Structure 1
Amino acid sequence: MEGRLQIFSGNANRPLAKEIASHLNINLGRAMVGRFKNGESRVKLEENVRGSDVFVIQPTCTPVNEHLMELLLLIDALRRASAARVTAVMPYYGYAKQEKKTTGREPISAKLVANLIRTAGAHRVLTMDLHAPAIEGFFDIPVDHLQAGPLLAEYIRDLNLPKPVVVSPDAGGVGRANSFRERIGAALAIIAKQRPQPDVAEVLEMVGDVEGRTAIIVDDMISTGGTLAEAARSLKERGALAVHACATHGIFAGDATSIIEKSMLVETIVTNTIPLPPNCEGARIRVMSVAPLFAEAIMRIHKDLSLSALFS
C-alpha cells in the first residue's frame, strides 16, 4: 500500500509493541494514552499520520474494558487525523469466550466488540489464536488470524521429550491438539470435562494412553489455571512420566500463578501476547515472543503480500 508504515500502541502491552517496531526498524508512534481525572480514557496523537498505513497494537487483556476503550479511541483518532488505513492488531481478543449464548437473555459480547472496532473506523484486524475461529465471521472487514502453534511446537520438538503425547484438555480443542501432534510427531489423548459453572472444570474421562509417556497439554489460553492443574494431576495419576503445558495466551487470572506453581507441571510455555502478571517467578513459566511473527505479518499487509506463508 502507498503511505508510510506507522505503529501505535495503547497501554495493554507496550513491550510487545516496541519489540514489533524494533523488528520493523521503525520507532513506535508518539501518542498520549492516559486518563482524565474523572476516569475517562484520554488519547492524543502527537505526530502526523495523514495518508499513513497505521497499525495499532493493543491486546484487549486485563483490565479488558479499559484496554478496549483505548483501542477504540486510538482508531477513531487515527481515522479523524486522515490515516489512509488503520489495522487493529489484537494479539489477544478479549470477550472471545462470549461468542455464543449459553442461556437465554445473554449478549453475544464477542460480536458486539467486533461491531465496535469496525464502527470506530478500523479497516482490518490482525489477531492470533481466537478462542473460537467463528469470531472471524463476526467482522465485516478483513481478519488475518495468526497461529502460535508452529512456534510452540518448535520449542517442544527441540526438547526431545521421551515418548511424547499431546493432550487436549477438552473436546473443543482436539483440532488444535491434533495439528500440534502432527508437528512434533506424537500420540494424541483427549480429556473429557464439564463445567458445572463458569471457570470451574471437572475431569470426567480420558481417551488415549498416557502411561509411560511425556504429556504435553495444548490449549489456546490459560485463565484461572484450575483446568490445567487438574489435568496435570489426572495425567500423572494415569501414569504420565511428566506433564508440560503450552498455550498461546497466558491470562493467569486471580491466583492462577500460585495454582500452577503448586501443580505437577514441569513447565508452562506461553507467548507474550499478554504481559505476564508480577510475582510469577516460581511458577515455571517460559515465554516465547510472537513479535517476529507479527512484524512479518504487518510488513506483508503493508506491502499487500500474501500471509499464507506464515501458516505453514
Structure 2
Amino acid sequence: MANNFVFKDSLPVAPLKIAALESCSELAGKVNDHIVQFRRNDIEELLRRKEDLHYRGYDVDSYLLDCKCPRFGTGEAKAMINESVRGTDIFVMADVTNYSIPYTVSGYTNHMSPDDHFQDLKRVIGACASTAHRVNVIMPFLYESRQHKRSKRESLDCAMALEELAAMGVENIITFDAHDPRVQNAIPLIGFDNFMPTYQFVKTLFAHDPSIHIGKEHLMVISPDEGAMSRAVYLANNLGVDMGMFYKRRDYSRIVNGRNPIVAHEFLGSSMDGKTVIIVDDMISSGESMLDTCKELKARGAKKAIVCCTFGLFTNGLEKFDEYHQKGYLDYVITTNLNYRAPELFDRPWYLEADMSKYMAAIINSLNHNRSISATLSPTEKIQKLVKRYQDGELK
C-alpha cells in the first residue's frame, strides 16, 4: 500500500485515538490492526534514527478509545469516555446504516435507526471535543446523503447534519462515495474528503475472475442511471473500455414508497453482445433498479453482468437477488465492508466483498501526520499498475 511507509520528516499532529461506535466496531478493529502494523514496520527505521517513539505515539498496542453510549429505560442515551483524550487526535467512526443493534424503550425492543446512530455520534463528539486536540469524523455512509437537494418544500437533512458537526468543532469529515459530494458546499470552511473504492473493486474483481479480458471487444462499464455517470466514466477510462448508460423513465403522476415508480429503463451506448459488463453505483438499497438493469443487459446479449456498489444495503432482502442469479441475469455482486451486512449475505454464491480497512487505515495514518492524501483521493496510478499486472498474468 502506498501509505505503508515511514513518515520520516513529520510527526503526528497529536497522539492518535479511534473512537469507534458500536455500529462499526468490527471495521474499526481491522483498521486499528492495520495502523498498529504500519507503525510497527516503521519502528526499526525510527530506532535507527534514534527517534523518541513514545512522543510519536508508535509504542501502543491499540489506538481504539474506550468509549460507549449506554441507554436509560426511556431510550435516552449518553456518551461515556473511559480514558483521557486531552490533546489527542480523535477519529470518531460510525455506521449509520447498522440496523442490527437493539435497545429497550419501556420494555419494548427497538433497533437503532440512522437518526439514533447520528445522535450517538454527536454524543461522543460532545464528550471529548473540549479537551481533544482535534476531532475528525469518519462516516462511510454519509448520513441522509440521499436527501441532498430540494425539489419542493422539503428538508435538506444532509446539509443540516453537516452544519451541526461543524458547529460542534469537527475539523474533518471523511466519507466514501457520497451520493452527491456537492453537499460539502454547506460547510465550505470544514475539511470534507470523499474517497472512492474503485481500486478495491478492480482488485477484488481480478482476484475472483481471472477469465476477464480487458479490452473494448470483451469488457464494458455501465452506469445504471444519470447519477452514477462520473463513477462509470472514471472506471471505463482507467480500463480503456467503452461505457454506456441506462436512464429511468418514471411515472411522475404517482408516488410509491416515497418515490416516483420506474416505468422503463432506456439504454444509451454501443453493443454489449458477448461482453462482460460491469455496473457501478454508490449503493444497492432495494436493488430493484439494479436487478432490472442486469436483466436488460442479458436481454441485449451481455455475457456476464457484474455489479459493483460501495454500499450493499439490501433493504428488501436477498431473495430477489437469489432468483436473478439462478435465472442467469446476475453473475455476482461486489460491495465493500464499509457498512453493516446481514450474516446470511456471506453465504450467497453471488456475493463478493471488497475490504476497505487497509485503505481507511492509510487515510487515518496520513491525516494524523498531516500528510497529503491527494494520491489517495484519486488512485489512478494504482489502478493502472494493477491492470498491467493482471494483463501480464501476475495476479492469476
TM-score (norm 2): 0.75
**1:284 has 2:388 as partner:** no
Q: Which amino acid aligns with 1:20?
A: V
In the TM superposition, what whole-angstrom CA distance separates every residue of 1:197-222 from its partner, at most 9, and x where no partner exists?
42843433111221111111110111
CA distance in structure 1 between the aligned counterparts of 2:230 and 2:137, rounded to whole angstroms: 27
Q: Mean Cα displacement is larger for which, 129-138 or 46-55?
A: 129-138
Residue 146 of structure 2 aligns to a residue in which SS?
Answer: coil
Match of 2:332 in 1: 267
1:173 aligns with 2:228: yes
Q: Which has the larger radius of gyration?
A: 2
Identify the match of residue 169 of structure 2 among 96, 99, 121. 121
Residue number in structure 1 paired with 2:244: 189
Letter in 1 for 2:142: Y
Greater mean alpha carbon deviation, residues 54-63 or residues 189-198: 189-198
Query: Match of 1:246, SS?
Result: strand
> What corresponds to 1:72 in structure 2?
122
Which of the numbers 251, 261, 280 marks the counterpart of 1:218? Answer: 280
Query: Pairwise mapping of residues 97-112 of structure 1 onto structure 2 (< 5 A)?
Result: 97-102=146-151, 104-112=152-160
1:10 lines up with 2:24 in the alignment = no
SS at match of 1:217: strand
Cα distance in structure 2, aligned partners of 1:157 and 1:283: 17
Q: Which of 286, 291, 298 does residue 236 from structure 1 map onto? A: 298
Correspondent of 1:151 among 182, 191, 200: 200
- In the alignment, structure 1 residue 20 sits paired with structure 2 residue 71: no
- Asked whether the equivalents of residues 246 and 266 of structure 2 are also in contact (C-alpha less than 8 Å), the reply is yes
Q: 1:2 to 1:308 in 2, by over 3 A?
A: closer
User: Is 2:65 aligned against 1:29?
Assistant: yes
SS of corresponding position for 1:269: strand
Question: Residue type matched to 1:84 in 2?
Answer: H
Partner Cα separation in structure 2 for residue 152 and residue 200 of structure 1 = 30
| CA deviation after TM superposition for structure 1 residue 276, in Å | 0.6
5+ long unaligned stretches in structure 2: 1-11, 37-61, 99-112, 380-396
1:85 CA drift (Å): 0.2
- Secondary structure at the aligned position of 2:348 is classed as helix
Deviation at 1:154? 2.8
Structure with a larger share of its residues in strand = 1
Percent identical among aligned pairs is 26
Corresponding letter in the other structure for 2:24: N
Deviations 1:165-201 (A, max 9, x none): 1110002211110111122232211111134442843
Distance 1:195 1:13, change over 3 A: farther
157-166 vs 31-40, which moves further: 157-166
SS of the residue corresponding to residue 21 of structure 1 reads helix
The one of 138, 144, 149 equivalent to 1:89 is: 138
Mapped contact 2:13–2:370 kept (Cα < 8 A): no
- 1:233 is paired with a residue of what secondary structure? helix
Task: Check the 8 A contact 1:268/1:284 in 2, yes or no.
Answer: yes
- How far is the alpha carbon of 1:119 from its aligned partner? 2.3
Q: Which moved more, 1:228-237 or 1:195-204?
A: 195-204
Deviation at 1:254, TM superposition (A): 2.8
- Name the amino acid aligned to 1:275: Y
Native 8 Å contact 1:200 1:227 kept in 2: no
Q: What TM-score, normalized to structure 1?
A: 0.94
Report Cα offsets for 1:41-69 as digits up to 9, x if no partner. Answer: 22100111000001011122142111111
Does the 8 A contact of 1:8 with 1:57 survive in 2? yes
